[in-house]
Amino acid sequence: ETGVTQTPRHLVMGMTNKKSLKCEQHLGHNAMYWYKQSAKKPLELMFVYNFKEQTENNSVPSRFSPECPNSSHLFLHLHTLQPEDSALYLCASSQDMQGPGDNEQFFGPGTRLTVL
Amino acid sequence: AQKVTQAQTEISVVEKEDVTLDCVYETRDTTYYLFWYKQPPSGELVFLIRRNSFDEQNEISGRYSWNFQKSTSSFNFTITASQVVDSAVYFCALKNNQGGKLIFGQGTELSVKP
């Protein structure tokens, strides 16, 4: 595997379910990100982790809970979601957050989430 | 505040036409970085180019070219002789120099018809 991988690629869940999204990067990066992409809206940054420490929580509801056990893995735990949470959830990684701003982010293919 | 505006929501062209995607940005920083990403139907954002604010040289890569003009705060992207495989959503993004987050534009959906 190379680059950034995400599983599952598609997920349908009910509002009372608990599920987790997984992201793994094979690039040796130290920063990882979760984005939400809803239809007809720009990408919304949700969380940022740098060297396993959360550095940004963009006012995300507590029904989304991130976890970063190491620099290569990032999870997004979901529970009691709402239908409006249906979206494409993208994971990304970059070298780190502390260097110059020229570190580009590399994105995974996303998880298409549908909440019924 | 930082902001990126892609005024063109959707563009439709016929194969082999040239097409320019506009990007206008706002920032008070003197050092910043601009990016273009492509999002094909598969969903993954693919990095295309990065420019820093001190380098206003235009860049050409095959059929792709970028025109960076600080005077108008624009970083436009042109595809020459478009192909069906160019159909995707294209995002312009801005980042400051302090490890700040990427600010994305709303995206432009390009449809290239045969």
Q: How many helices (H) and strands (E) does chain A have?
A: 0, 11
Residue A56 is predicted with a pLDDT of 85
Average pLDDT, chain A: 91
**What one-character DSSP code corresponds to residue A63?**
T
Residues of chain B contacting A109 with CB distance shorter than 8 Å? 42-44
Higher pLDDT: B14 or A98? It is B14
The chain A residue lying nearest B105, using CA atoms, is A42
Q: What is the mean pLDDT of residues A55-65?
A: 91
> Is pLDDT above 90 for B44?
no
Residues of chain A contacting B44 with CB distance shorter than 8 Å? 107-110
Single out the residue of A94, A76, A93, A75 nearest to residue A85, CA to CA. A76
Under the banding of pLDDT at 50, 70 and 90, the label for residue B1 is confident
Single out the residue of A109, A50, A4, A105 nearest to residue B40, CA to CA. A109
Q: What is the mean pLDDT of residues A53-68?
A: 92
Residues of chain A contacting B101 with CB distance shorter than 8 Å? 45, 48, 56
Q: In chain B, pLDDT over 90 holds for what percent of residues? A: 72
Q: Measured between CA atoms, how close is B84 to chain A, in angstroms?
A: 21
Paired residues of B20 in beta bridges: B78
Average pLDDT, chain B: 92
Under the banding of pLDDT at 50, 70 and 90, the label for residue B17 is very high
Q: What is the mean pLDDT of residues A107-111?
A: 94
Q: Do B44 and A42 touch (CB under 8 A)?
A: no
Q: Please state, in angstroms and rounded to a whole number, the distance separating the CA atoms of residues A72 and B68.
A: 34
Q: Could you give the angle at the alpha carbon of A67 between the alpha carbons of A40 and A74, nearest 5°?
A: 65
Mutate to test the interface with A, among B2, B31, B39, B44 (most CBs of A within 10 A): B44
Paired residues of A50 in beta bridges: A31, A53
Residue A98 is predicted with a pLDDT of 62
Q: Please state, in angstroms and rounded to a whole number, the distance separating the CA atoms of residues A70 and A50.
A: 10
Tell me: the pLDDT tens digits for B59-104? 888 999 999 999 999 999 999 999 999 999 999 999 877 666 789 9
Q: Measured between CA atoms, how close is A83 to chain B, in angstroms?
A: 20
